Amino acid sequence: MSCTVHIPSPLRSYTAGAHRVPADGATLEEVLASLEGRFTGIRFRIVDEQSHIRPHIRFYVNAREAQELCAPVGAGDAVHVICALTGG
């Protein structure tokens, strides 16, 4: 299944500046694996080595927050990677 992943600005160095990229997968985990296959290193910046979503990252599938990597993703869904508005 193919979805569209919306890439936030801190991660666009991996996608050659692309704001939206297609990816495959029936779960968020599979979508991230698909992204990693094309953009090496991108997954580790947003998911840690224990497969936990990093503290200042959020995922949305369409308009719903996905708090687990096992969250389902359907064909045509929009996956948003959000960098929480923190820092200074």
Binding site for another protein (CB under 8 A): 8, 10-11, 40-41, 44-52, 54, 56-57, 83-84, 86-87
Question: Closer CB to another protein, residue 37 or residue 76?
Answer: 37
DSSP 3-state of 25: coil
| Residue among 56 and 64 whose Cβ is closer to another protein | 56
Helix (H, G, I), strand (E, B) or coil at 67: coil
Q: Give the shortest CB-75-to-another protein separation in angstroms.
A: 29
Q: Supply the Cα-derived Rg of the chain in whole angstroms.
A: 12
* Residue 67 vs 72, nearer CB to another protein: 67
Q: How far is the CB of 3 from another protein (least distance, A)?
A: 22
**Contacts (Cβ under 8 Å, ≥6 apart) of 1:** 24, 25, 26, 73, 74, 75
Q: What are the structure tokens assigned to 12, written together? A: 């666009």
Report the nearest approach of another protein to the CB of residue 40 (Å): 6
